[in-house]
Amino acid sequence: MKSTIIKRRMLFLLVCTLLVFSCTKKQTEEIKQPQKNIIVGFSQIGAESAWRTCNTQSMQDAASASGIQLLYDNAEQKQENQIKAIRSFIVYQVDVIVFVPIVQDGWDNVLREAKDAGIPVIIIDRKMRVADESLFTAFIGADHIEEGRNAARFLLKKFKDEDRNFRILEILGTEGSSVADGRYAGFREIINTDNRFTITASIDGDFLRSRGKEIAETYLQENPELPFDILFSHNDGMALGFIDVLNNTSIRPGKDIVIVSVDAEQAAIDALKEGKINCVVECNPKIGDLVIDMVKKLTEGKSIPRTTNISENVFTEWDDLSLLPLRGY
Ligand code: AHR
Protein backbone atom coordinates (compact mmCIF):
# COMPACT_ATOMS: atom_id res chain seq x y z
CA MET A 1 0.00 0.00 0.00
CA LYS A 2 2.76 2.42 1.09
CA SER A 3 4.80 1.62 -2.00
CA THR A 4 1.73 2.23 -4.26
CA ILE A 5 1.29 5.70 -2.72
CA ILE A 6 4.98 6.46 -3.24
CA LYS A 7 4.73 5.27 -6.86
CA ARG A 8 1.66 7.49 -7.49
CA ARG A 9 3.42 10.50 -5.94
CA MET A 10 6.45 9.91 -8.14
CA LEU A 11 4.27 9.57 -11.22
CA PHE A 12 2.46 12.82 -10.30
CA LEU A 13 5.78 14.59 -9.86
CA LEU A 14 6.99 13.28 -13.20
CA VAL A 15 3.83 14.47 -14.99
CA CYS A 16 4.13 17.89 -13.33
CA THR A 17 7.79 18.13 -14.31
CA LEU A 18 6.98 17.19 -17.91
CA LEU A 19 4.14 19.71 -17.99
CA VAL A 20 6.32 22.50 -16.61
CA PHE A 21 9.11 21.54 -18.98
CA SER A 22 6.84 21.47 -22.03
CA CYS A 23 5.26 24.80 -21.01
CA THR A 24 8.65 26.44 -20.55
CA LYS A 25 9.84 25.00 -23.84
CA LYS A 26 6.76 26.35 -25.64
CA GLN A 27 7.17 29.83 -24.13
CA THR A 28 10.87 29.87 -24.99
CA GLU A 29 10.05 28.89 -28.57
CA GLU A 30 7.53 31.76 -28.80
CA ILE A 31 10.06 34.29 -27.56
CA LYS A 32 12.75 33.00 -29.87
CA GLN A 33 10.37 33.00 -32.81
CA PRO A 34 11.90 35.73 -35.04
CA GLN A 35 9.56 38.65 -35.64
CA LYS A 36 8.70 39.22 -39.30
CA ASN A 37 11.60 40.97 -40.91
CA ILE A 38 10.16 44.15 -42.45
CA ILE A 39 11.79 45.29 -45.66
CA VAL A 40 11.27 48.80 -46.98
CA GLY A 41 12.37 50.00 -50.41
CA PHE A 42 13.33 53.68 -50.20
CA SER A 43 13.92 55.71 -53.35
CA GLN A 44 15.56 59.05 -52.56
CA ILE A 45 15.98 61.67 -55.28
CA GLY A 46 19.66 62.43 -54.67
CA ALA A 47 21.93 64.55 -52.52
CA GLU A 48 21.40 68.01 -53.98
CA SER A 49 21.37 69.86 -50.65
CA ALA A 50 22.27 69.61 -46.97
CA TRP A 51 18.53 69.21 -46.38
CA ARG A 52 18.39 66.14 -48.59
CA THR A 53 21.42 64.49 -46.99
CA CYS A 54 19.83 64.96 -43.57
CA ASN A 55 16.52 63.57 -44.82
CA THR A 56 18.27 60.40 -46.06
CA GLN A 57 20.18 60.02 -42.80
CA SER A 58 16.99 60.46 -40.80
CA MET A 59 15.33 57.61 -42.73
CA GLN A 60 18.36 55.34 -42.37
CA ASP A 61 18.71 56.01 -38.63
CA ALA A 62 15.01 55.45 -37.94
CA ALA A 63 14.94 52.19 -39.91
CA SER A 64 18.01 50.78 -38.21
CA ALA A 65 16.74 51.79 -34.74
CA SER A 66 13.57 49.78 -35.45
CA GLY A 67 15.34 46.76 -36.90
CA ILE A 68 13.78 47.43 -40.29
CA GLN A 69 15.78 46.60 -43.38
CA LEU A 70 15.94 49.65 -45.66
CA LEU A 71 16.82 49.08 -49.30
CA TYR A 72 18.10 52.55 -50.20
CA ASP A 73 18.43 53.87 -53.72
CA ASN A 74 19.85 57.27 -54.73
CA ALA A 75 18.23 58.33 -58.02
CA GLU A 76 20.77 61.05 -58.71
CA GLN A 77 18.09 63.58 -59.66
CA LYS A 78 16.55 61.41 -62.39
CA GLN A 79 12.92 60.32 -62.42
CA GLU A 80 13.75 57.33 -64.63
CA ASN A 81 16.18 56.08 -61.95
CA GLN A 82 13.41 56.34 -59.35
CA ILE A 83 11.07 54.35 -61.58
CA LYS A 84 13.76 51.66 -62.04
CA ALA A 85 14.34 51.52 -58.28
CA ILE A 86 10.61 51.16 -57.57
CA ARG A 87 10.40 48.33 -60.12
CA SER A 88 13.29 46.54 -58.44
CA PHE A 89 11.56 46.91 -55.05
CA ILE A 90 8.47 45.30 -56.57
CA VAL A 91 10.52 42.37 -57.91
CA TYR A 92 12.14 42.04 -54.47
CA GLN A 93 8.64 41.96 -52.92
CA VAL A 94 9.41 44.51 -50.22
CA ASP A 95 6.73 45.11 -47.58
CA VAL A 96 6.39 48.86 -48.19
CA ILE A 97 7.76 51.28 -50.78
CA VAL A 98 8.68 54.78 -49.60
CA PHE A 99 9.77 57.40 -52.09
CA VAL A 100 10.21 61.13 -52.70
CA PRO A 101 8.66 61.99 -56.07
CA ILE A 102 11.21 64.27 -57.70
CA VAL A 103 8.50 65.75 -59.92
CA GLN A 104 4.73 65.56 -59.72
CA ASP A 105 3.78 63.71 -62.91
CA GLY A 106 4.67 60.42 -64.56
CA TRP A 107 4.17 57.89 -61.76
CA ASP A 108 0.89 56.21 -62.70
CA ASN A 109 2.26 53.14 -64.49
CA VAL A 110 4.87 52.13 -61.96
CA LEU A 111 2.49 52.72 -59.06
CA ARG A 112 -0.14 50.55 -60.72
CA GLU A 113 2.49 47.79 -60.85
CA ALA A 114 3.13 48.24 -57.12
CA LYS A 115 -0.59 48.15 -56.41
CA ASP A 116 -1.05 44.97 -58.50
CA ALA A 117 1.78 43.40 -56.50
CA GLY A 118 -0.05 44.35 -53.28
CA ILE A 119 2.76 46.62 -52.04
CA PRO A 120 1.63 49.81 -50.26
CA VAL A 121 3.38 53.05 -51.20
CA ILE A 122 4.08 56.01 -48.92
CA ILE A 123 5.30 59.23 -50.51
CA ILE A 124 7.36 61.57 -48.40
CA ASP A 125 8.46 65.21 -48.64
CA ARG A 126 7.06 65.90 -52.14
CA LYS A 127 3.61 65.31 -53.56
CA MET A 128 2.54 63.96 -56.94
CA ARG A 129 -0.40 64.04 -59.36
CA VAL A 130 -1.90 60.67 -60.22
CA ALA A 131 -5.15 59.88 -62.01
CA ASP A 132 -6.10 57.31 -59.38
CA GLU A 133 -5.50 58.46 -55.79
CA SER A 134 -5.62 54.87 -54.54
CA LEU A 135 -2.20 54.28 -56.12
CA PHE A 136 -0.54 55.48 -52.94
CA THR A 137 -1.48 55.05 -49.31
CA ALA A 138 -0.20 58.19 -47.62
CA PHE A 139 1.81 61.39 -47.84
CA ILE A 140 4.11 62.53 -45.03
CA GLY A 141 5.89 65.87 -45.29
CA ALA A 142 5.77 69.63 -45.02
CA ASP A 143 3.13 72.02 -46.29
CA HIS A 144 5.16 73.77 -48.96
CA ILE A 145 2.41 76.24 -49.83
CA GLU A 146 2.45 77.44 -46.24
CA GLU A 147 6.24 77.82 -46.41
CA GLY A 148 5.81 80.17 -49.39
CA ARG A 149 3.12 82.10 -47.52
CA ASN A 150 5.38 82.45 -44.48
CA ALA A 151 8.19 83.87 -46.61
CA ALA A 152 5.82 86.53 -47.97
CA ARG A 153 4.28 87.24 -44.54
CA PHE A 154 7.74 88.13 -43.24
CA LEU A 155 8.19 90.71 -46.03
CA LEU A 156 4.79 92.30 -45.42
CA LYS A 157 5.62 92.61 -41.74
CA LYS A 158 9.16 93.90 -42.31
CA PHE A 159 8.04 96.65 -44.68
CA LYS A 160 4.66 97.44 -43.14
CA ASP A 161 5.55 101.10 -42.54
CA GLU A 162 7.47 101.84 -45.76
CA ASP A 163 5.89 103.84 -48.52
CA ARG A 164 7.88 102.59 -51.53
CA ASN A 165 7.94 99.80 -54.09
CA PHE A 166 9.94 96.58 -53.89
CA ARG A 167 11.32 94.44 -56.71
CA ILE A 168 11.69 90.75 -55.97
CA LEU A 169 14.01 88.22 -57.60
CA GLU A 170 12.81 84.67 -57.01
CA ILE A 171 15.06 81.63 -57.39
CA LEU A 172 12.91 78.58 -57.97
CA GLY A 173 13.42 74.97 -56.90
CA THR A 174 13.32 72.02 -59.29
CA GLU A 175 10.90 72.61 -62.16
CA GLY A 176 7.82 70.39 -62.01
CA SER A 177 8.29 69.51 -58.33
CA SER A 178 5.42 69.97 -55.90
CA VAL A 179 7.73 71.77 -53.50
CA ALA A 180 8.71 74.47 -56.02
CA ASP A 181 5.08 74.82 -57.15
CA GLY A 182 3.90 75.05 -53.55
CA ARG A 183 6.39 77.72 -52.50
CA TYR A 184 5.70 79.64 -55.73
CA ALA A 185 1.93 79.59 -55.16
CA GLY A 186 1.97 80.31 -51.43
CA PHE A 187 4.37 83.21 -51.85
CA ARG A 188 2.19 84.83 -54.52
CA GLU A 189 -1.00 84.26 -52.57
CA ILE A 190 0.25 86.62 -49.86
CA ILE A 191 2.63 88.97 -51.68
CA ASN A 192 0.03 89.82 -54.33
CA THR A 193 -2.24 91.27 -51.67
CA ASP A 194 0.14 94.24 -51.45
CA ASN A 195 0.80 96.14 -54.67
CA ARG A 196 4.07 97.65 -53.47
CA PHE A 197 5.69 94.28 -54.26
CA THR A 198 6.48 93.07 -57.80
CA ILE A 199 8.18 89.80 -58.68
CA THR A 200 10.44 91.06 -61.45
CA ALA A 201 12.12 87.73 -62.27
CA SER A 202 11.72 84.04 -61.45
CA ILE A 203 14.70 81.88 -62.36
CA ASP A 204 15.11 78.10 -62.08
CA GLY A 205 17.87 77.20 -59.62
CA ASP A 206 17.10 73.45 -59.25
CA PHE A 207 17.77 73.65 -55.47
CA LEU A 208 21.53 73.76 -56.16
CA ARG A 209 23.99 76.09 -54.45
CA SER A 210 26.05 76.16 -57.66
CA ARG A 211 22.99 77.44 -59.55
CA GLY A 212 22.47 80.17 -56.94
CA LYS A 213 26.03 81.31 -57.66
CA GLU A 214 25.58 81.17 -61.45
CA ILE A 215 22.34 83.13 -61.27
CA ALA A 216 23.97 85.84 -59.15
CA GLU A 217 26.93 86.13 -61.51
CA THR A 218 24.82 86.35 -64.66
CA TYR A 219 22.17 88.56 -63.16
CA LEU A 220 24.58 91.04 -61.65
CA GLN A 221 26.70 91.13 -64.81
CA GLU A 222 23.65 91.99 -66.91
CA ASN A 223 22.29 94.48 -64.35
CA PRO A 224 25.30 96.03 -62.57
CA GLU A 225 23.24 98.61 -60.68
CA LEU A 226 21.22 97.05 -57.84
CA PRO A 227 18.54 95.33 -59.92
CA PHE A 228 16.15 94.27 -57.14
CA ASP A 229 15.46 94.83 -53.46
CA ILE A 230 14.49 91.38 -52.25
CA LEU A 231 15.71 87.87 -52.97
CA PHE A 232 13.27 85.03 -52.30
CA SER A 233 15.12 81.74 -52.67
CA HIS A 234 13.25 78.43 -52.59
CA ASN A 235 16.07 76.92 -50.54
CA ASP A 236 19.03 77.91 -48.40
CA GLY A 237 21.62 76.36 -50.70
CA MET A 238 20.71 78.66 -53.59
CA ALA A 239 20.55 81.71 -51.28
CA LEU A 240 23.99 80.88 -49.87
CA GLY A 241 25.39 80.47 -53.40
CA PHE A 242 23.97 83.89 -54.26
CA ILE A 243 25.51 85.39 -51.12
CA ASP A 244 28.91 83.86 -52.03
CA VAL A 245 28.87 86.12 -55.10
CA LEU A 246 27.50 89.20 -53.30
CA ASN A 247 30.34 88.87 -50.78
CA ASN A 248 32.74 89.83 -53.59
CA THR A 249 30.81 92.98 -54.47
CA SER A 250 29.90 96.16 -52.64
CA ILE A 251 26.27 94.97 -52.32
CA ARG A 252 25.61 93.94 -48.74
CA PRO A 253 23.41 90.83 -48.40
CA GLY A 254 20.74 91.28 -45.74
CA LYS A 255 21.04 95.07 -45.95
CA ASP A 256 21.10 96.32 -49.54
CA ILE A 257 19.16 93.20 -50.55
CA VAL A 258 16.72 91.61 -48.15
CA ILE A 259 17.04 87.82 -48.34
CA VAL A 260 14.42 85.23 -47.44
CA SER A 261 15.00 81.53 -47.94
CA VAL A 262 13.59 78.15 -46.97
CA ASP A 263 15.00 75.07 -45.13
CA ALA A 264 16.79 76.47 -42.04
CA GLU A 265 20.00 74.55 -42.47
CA GLN A 266 22.79 75.51 -40.04
CA ALA A 267 24.71 77.60 -42.59
CA ALA A 268 21.61 79.72 -43.25
CA ILE A 269 20.93 80.16 -39.54
CA ASP A 270 24.55 81.31 -39.16
CA ALA A 271 24.05 83.78 -42.04
CA LEU A 272 20.85 84.98 -40.35
CA LYS A 273 22.78 85.58 -37.13
CA GLU A 274 25.43 87.49 -39.12
CA GLY A 275 22.73 89.66 -40.70
CA LYS A 276 23.30 88.35 -44.23
CA ILE A 277 19.90 86.64 -44.42
CA ASN A 278 16.78 88.26 -42.97
CA CYS A 279 14.38 85.35 -42.65
CA VAL A 280 14.60 81.57 -42.94
CA VAL A 281 11.44 79.50 -43.19
CA GLU A 282 11.98 76.05 -41.76
CA CYS A 283 11.44 72.90 -43.79
CA ASN A 284 12.06 69.93 -41.52
CA PRO A 285 13.95 67.00 -43.09
CA LYS A 286 13.96 64.88 -39.91
CA ILE A 287 10.88 62.82 -40.63
CA GLY A 288 12.44 59.34 -40.50
CA ASP A 289 10.88 58.31 -37.16
CA LEU A 290 7.44 59.39 -38.27
CA VAL A 291 7.73 57.54 -41.58
CA ILE A 292 9.03 54.34 -39.99
CA ASP A 293 6.26 54.49 -37.41
CA MET A 294 3.70 54.60 -40.23
CA VAL A 295 5.47 51.73 -42.00
CA LYS A 296 5.19 49.61 -38.83
CA LYS A 297 1.50 50.42 -38.48
CA LEU A 298 0.86 49.47 -42.10
CA THR A 299 2.63 46.14 -41.75
CA GLU A 300 0.58 45.44 -38.61
CA GLY A 301 -2.56 45.93 -40.67
CA LYS A 302 -3.44 49.24 -38.96
CA SER A 303 -4.71 52.24 -40.88
CA ILE A 304 -2.62 55.40 -41.19
CA PRO A 305 -3.67 58.98 -42.02
CA ARG A 306 -3.78 59.87 -45.68
CA THR A 307 -1.85 63.12 -45.10
CA THR A 308 0.54 63.99 -42.28
CA ASN A 309 1.97 67.51 -42.32
CA ILE A 310 4.87 68.44 -40.10
CA SER A 311 4.75 71.65 -38.11
CA GLU A 312 7.53 74.10 -38.89
CA ASN A 313 9.05 77.32 -37.59
CA VAL A 314 10.05 80.64 -39.09
CA PHE A 315 13.35 82.19 -37.96
CA THR A 316 13.77 85.92 -38.47
CA GLU A 317 16.21 88.74 -37.84
CA TRP A 318 14.02 89.79 -34.90
CA ASP A 319 14.52 86.53 -33.00
CA ASP A 320 17.06 85.78 -30.32
CA LEU A 321 18.72 82.72 -31.83
CA SER A 322 21.52 82.42 -29.29
CA LEU A 323 19.91 79.38 -27.64
CA LEU A 324 18.79 77.65 -30.82
CA PRO A 325 20.23 74.12 -30.78
CA LEU A 326 22.45 73.10 -33.69
CA ARG A 327 20.27 72.14 -36.60
CA GLY A 328 22.11 68.95 -37.59
CA TYR A 329 22.02 69.78 -41.31
O1 AHR B 1 11.82 68.90 -51.22
C2 AHR B 1 12.44 69.64 -50.24
C3 AHR B 1 13.48 70.53 -50.87
O4 AHR B 1 14.37 69.75 -51.60
C5 AHR B 1 14.33 71.31 -49.91
O6 AHR B 1 13.82 72.59 -49.61
C7 AHR B 1 15.56 71.46 -50.72
O8 AHR B 1 16.66 71.99 -50.05
C9 AHR B 1 15.69 70.08 -51.20
O10 AHR B 1 16.69 69.76 -51.99
| Structure confidence at residue 28 (pLDDT) | 40
| Structure confidence at residue 182 (pLDDT) | 98
Q: Do domains 39-142+285-311 and 144-283 have the same CATH topology?
A: yes
| Structure confidence at residue 18 (pLDDT) | 38
User: Cα of 91 to ligand 1 centre, how many Å?
Assistant: 29
Say if residue 27's pLDDT is above 90.
Answer: no
Lowest mean pLDDT across 17-26, 69-78, 122-131, 211-220: 17-26
Summarised one tens digit per residue, pLDDT across range 36-54 is 799 999 999 999 999 999 9
Say if residue 150's pLDDT is above 50.
Answer: yes
| Structure confidence at residue 224 (pLDDT) | 79
DSSP bridge pairs for 139: 123, 307
The topology (CATH level 3) of 144-283 is: Rossmann fold (3.40.50)
Residues with CB under 6 A from ligand 1: 48-49, 51-52, 125-126, 179, 207, 235, 237, 262-263, 283
Say if residue 31's pLDDT is above 70.
Answer: no
Q: Which of 204, 207, 261 to mutate to test the pocket of ligand 1 (most atoms within 8 A of CB)?
A: 207
Domain ranges for the chain: 39-142+285-311, 144-283
| Structure confidence at residue 35 (pLDDT) | 59
Q: Which of 127, 283, 286, 287 to mutate to test the pocket of ligand 1 (most atoms within 8 A of CB)?
A: 283
User: Cα of 33 to ligand 1 centre, how many Å?
Assistant: 42
Atom of ligand 1 nearest to the CA of 234: 6
| pLDDT, average across residues 20-45 | 62
Atom of ligand 1 nearest to the CA of 126: 1
pTM above 0.85, yes or no: yes
- For residue 28, what are the CA distances in angstroms to 23, 25, 143, 206? 9, 5, 48, 56
| Nearest in space to 89 (alpha carbons), one of 75, 106, 78 | 75
The span from the CA of 168 to the CA of 207, in Å, is 18
Biggest alpha carbon distance in the chain? 118
User: Cα of 203 to ligand 1 centre, how many Å?
Assistant: 16
3-state SS assignment for residue 309: strand
What CATH architecture is 39-142+285-311?
3-Layer(aba) Sandwich (3.40)
Average per-residue pLDDT for the chain: 91
- Model confidence band, residue 1 (pLDDT cutoffs 50, 70, 90): very low
User: CA torsion sign, 143 to 96 to 129 to 180?
Assistant: positive
- Model confidence band, residue 225 (pLDDT cutoffs 50, 70, 90): confident
Cβ proximity of 280 and 290 under 8 Å: no
Q: Which of 45, 51, 77, 234 to mutate to test the pocket of ligand 1 (most atoms within 8 A of CB)?
A: 51
Atom of ligand 1 nearest to the CA of 237: 8
